Amino acid sequence: MIYTREYLENLADKINRDFFPERLSTPSILDGYDLLEAVGCDYECKDS
């Protein structure tokens, strides 16, 4: 599937509105682990 820039920007805005509304007024780096926790995913870090 190919995603358009508009689709990806809308998706990013939705994620920010739903989980990190403070990022809409103060841009910051999105931590992938914070996103996983926000959506209720469990994760485990492993060394290779």
Q: Which residue has the tokens 């809409």?
A: 24
pLDDT lower than 50: segments of the chain: none
The domain containing residue 11 runs over which residues?
Answer: 5-38
Residues 9-32 as b/e (b if ≥16 CB within 10 A, e otherwise) read eeeeeeebeeeeeebeeeeeeeee
Confidence at residue 47, expressed as pLDDT on a 0 to 100 scale:
81
What's the CA gap between 17 and 25, in Å, rounded? 11
Residue 11 falls within a domain, yes or no?
A: yes
State the Cα angle at 16 between 8 and 28, rounded to 5°.
100
Residue 45 falls within a domain, yes or no?
A: no
Residue 18 falls within a domain, yes or no?
A: yes
Confidence at residue 29, expressed as pLDDT on a 0 to 100 scale:
92
Q: Which pTM value belongs to this model?
A: 0.69
